[in-house]
Structure 1
Amino acid sequence: MRRCTPVVLILATALAITFVLPQPAFAQDGAAIFKAKCATCHGPEGEGKIGPAVRGTTLTAVQIADMLTKGNDARKPPHKKPQASLSADDSKAVAEFVKTLK
């Protein structure tokens, strides 16, 4: 039984540390990216300007990220795909942020 105690303590400590350390703030990163690359067209609060409003969208975060990556063929040219080039991770971060806009 005593041999298991150090292993259990190490595992418990590792688990506790994962909950105590700050986690990546995906939506915060998304807010910064949105402000820098999206707000010009979609408005700083997602209310829409040149581009459509994104605040209160019924799309899921996955659908938003997919649209940011691949574009939306249902839209008329020239804005089938967002003008800002985003990585997959940045697209996910922006999508998570957009879902926080109410």
Structure 2
Amino acid sequence: MQGTSLIAWMAWTWQTAAFFAFIIACLIAMTVWELRRPGGGPRRGILGLDTTRGDRLFISLLGAAYIFLAWLGFVGTPLWAPLGLSFAYAFVIFRWA
């Protein structure tokens, strides 16, 4: 490899770094939450599934990805509106799912 790094193939922008930093921050926050308040056991919500805190985080992140992809497909940029929709979706998932 002549002067290229192993990750040079990926478009590392500040937005990409912010995305991964957010995911890492979510995982750290969930770990701290579980250590400080154990007992995030399964509960049955509006989805009809037994979900834990980690399940709800995963469902929220997956839903946010679909919200952003749909927004990009149908509307385009800017992406502030799907960001707000994603946070609202995550709130609903953590509150009632």
TM-score tier by shorter-chain length is under 0.3
TM-score normalised over the length of structure 1 = 0.27
Larger RCO (CA under 8 A, 6+ residues apart): 1
Query: Which has the greater radius of gyration?
Result: 1
TM-score normalised over the length of structure 2 = 0.28
Q: Which has the higher helix share?
A: 2
